[in-house]
Amino acid sequence: MIYACIWLNYAYNALTQLSKTMIVKIWKGEKDSNERCITKFNKRVQASRKIPKVRSGRYHKKSLTRRQIRAAAIMREHYRAIRDKNKFY
């Protein structure tokens, strides 16, 4: 049987590149054409939901600053208090 594999490599960090291998295998049947194999492969890649992970690692994302973390924590506590206040039980 013939199978097609794809390795999608992406970088975790700008300094060190760590590659992750994600394999998608497609087996070609006796009566399958090449176009059918490509269609099966595309469907399998879409179903594996690996494309968003690869696209997110494509560019460097800045980490949050202390000020942003504190602001997010304050807002989180605020919304939790509102949610607890509006409970019906």
User: Which domain does 9 fall in, by range?
Assistant: 3-85
The percent of residues above 70 in pLDDT, for the chain, comes to: 75
Per-residue pLDDT reduced to its tens digit, 10-69: 333 332 343 456 677 888 888 888 898 888 888 888 888 878 877 887 888 899 999 999
Which candidate, 20, 24, 1, places its Cα nearest to that of 9? 20
For residues 26 and 37, the answer to whether their CB atoms sit within 8 Å is yes
Look at the block and give the residue holding tokens 């494509």: 58
Which residues are paired to 27 by β-bridges? Answer: 3
For residues 1 and 28, the answer to whether their CB atoms sit within 8 Å is yes
**Helix, strand or coil for residue 46?**
helix
Q: What CA–CA distance (Å, rounded) separates 22 from 55?
A: 13
- How many domains are contained in the chain? 1
